[in-house]
A = this chain, B = another copy of it.
Amino acid sequence: MAEEWATFGADLHLDLSGAGRGPGLRAGLMDALREAVRSGRLAAGVRLPSSRSLAADLGIARNTVADAYAELVAEGWLTARQGSGTRVAQRSVPRRPTSGAGARPATPATPSARRARSRPAYDLKPGVPDLASFPRAEWLKASRRALTAAPNEAFGYGDPRGRIELRTVLAEYLARARGVYARPERIVICSGFVHGLRLMAEVLRARKVREVAVESYGLDVHWELLTRVGLRLPALPYDALGTRTEGLAGMKGVGAVLMTAAHQFPRGGALHPDRRVAAIDWARSSGGLVLEDDYDGEFRYDRQPVGALQGLDPERVVYLGTASKSLAPALRLGWMVVPEGLVGEVVAAKGHVDWTGSALDQLTFAEFLGSGAYDRHVRAMRLRYRRRRDELVAAVAAQSPTTRVSGIAAGLHAVLELPPGQEREVVRSAAWQGLAVLGLDRFRHPSVPHTQDGLVVGYATPPDSAWSGTLSALGRVLPA
């Protein structure tokens, strides 16, 4: 065993060398551990080294190892019992034949892959809507209508911007629901937000942009995507009024800013009107672009959603929307509304080929949207999520008076602000309870100081049957 562990440690080290620092390092460590379990090199029941000693072996921070262990416990790969340490779980993991020493992990774990592969007992990770509510019958109906009505040419190679039928109804919808100035000509269909962001990263690089300002809090996968094409990402400060866009004026060399204006992800605030104007003013005076990530703009529970930033200046804002939160990530359907002069560059970044996913899906979604089924679905989900949020807020108030739910009543997640110094402990004890939940710190930009402990709670995912159990589990781990 000692020798096997040594081999494993060496492999681990190899993988970690590409993982960078910070969240990437933890993810790399988790990948390596998962792969070792999957391949059978770490057999079920085997006791892992303590986080302290593995950290020392690898020359990394002990907390990184402890966090990775906790998360793998939550995912069901490992088990942890007081007194018996951390062990490989007994649940059978299919042993995958590997092709010798040079084989790399077949599936580097992404948030999504992790989710599919294993399931914690309770899941409050943010980012996924209620999958059980996908309107299968209505979608199928739209699909039948679309497929029947489609002209033969719809089965060929399409316009790289996407089907005109979809762009036409989207233009109408986005104007009505989100105040977006959208003409079909300037809409580009993409495979969800990440694809759109990637296209913009290429456009920006081709324009010799070197820096894109980001918010203090966000998603590391987005940052990594931008970093990978060589962009630097200075962060704007965040306060009670939202992201301090005034700061843009002093940032020389920044060519664009990525923002979640309607509902900051994950902090949960709506950008203050003055800050909205400041962002647009900066873009106008500097010639920069605002990339508006409107990921959940449909879901506001206390009032009409604030219109998109894009409406203020369609020539300076690239609006990015998605069906991933409002319908389902599996559709891989997103849309960009881009300044007129940028359409050609975005299409070029797409490689002049429409790999935006199936034209049939686009026609189906056009039907779904045009028939009013989308509006009905969004209304139903709004009621559902609002109820969930209300129940979450009530449960937290009842069980943890020192915890504060922050942010506007919107979207699919809430931030639970914890007393200073509590976050790491709460996340870990949640993992021990089989409750998957993410700390706020995980979403913090590396350059921004830690000022707030908290949890980012996604309340859309748990099935109805698990919801009250999930709230109880949460109550048990929050500070009294």
Using a CB–CB cutoff of 8 Å, the interface residues on chain A facing chain B are: 96, 98-99, 102-108, 110-113, 115-116, 127-128, 131-132, 134, 136, 139-140, 143-144, 147-148, 150, 152-161, 185-186, 191-192, 194-195, 198, 221, 225, 315, 324, 328-333, 340-345, 347-348, 351-361, 463
Contact = CB atoms under 8 A, between A and B. Distances in A.
Contact of A140 (B147, B186, B195, B343): B147
**In the complex this chain forms, how many copies of it are found?**
2
**Which of A98, A134, A157 has its CB near the most chain B CB atoms (within 10 A)?**
A157
A102 B195 contact: no
Nearest to A31: B344
Contacts of A194: 351, 353, 355
A98 B183 CA distance: 12
Nearest to A225: B351
Nearest to A355: B191
B98 A340 contact: yes
A132 B99 CA distance: 44
A128 B156 contact: yes
A328 B106 contact: no
Contacts of A225: 351
- In the complex, which of the residues A116, A139, A161, A359 has the most CB atoms of chain B within 10 Å of its own CB atom? A116
A4 to B, nearest CB: 21
Given A113-B160, A332-B357, A358-B358, A108 B344 contact: yes
Contacts of A361: 357-358, 360-361
A352 B110 CA distance: 6
Nearest to A136: B147
A104 B343 contact: yes
Contacts of A105: 344
B329 A155 contact: yes
A154 B357 contact: no
Given A332-B356, A332-B359, 11 more contacts: A96-B185, A107-B159, A107-B161, A107-B343, A107-B347, A136-B148, A192-B353, A331-B358, A332-B358, A355-B357, A361-B361
Nearest to A144: B140
B330 A358 contact: yes
13 contacts: A99-B341, A104-B341, A104-B342, A104-B344, A105-B344, A106-B344, A107-B159, A116-B159, A132-B152, A155-B330, A221-B352, A332-B354, A358-B361
Given A104-B344, A107-B161, A140-B147, A357 B354 contact: no
Given A103-B341, A357-B191, A361-B360, A351 B198 contact: yes
A206 to B, nearest CB: 10
A353 B196 CA distance: 12
Contacts of A192: 353, 355
A15 B128 CA distance: 43
A143 B341 CA distance: 39
Contacts of A198: 351
A357 B359 CA distance: 10
A107 B353 CA distance: 11
B358 A106 contact: no
Nearest to A329: B157
Nearest to A152: B131
Contact of A115 (B108, B128, B156, B195): B156
A54 B352 CA distance: 27
A158 B341 contact: no
A328 B111 CA distance: 32
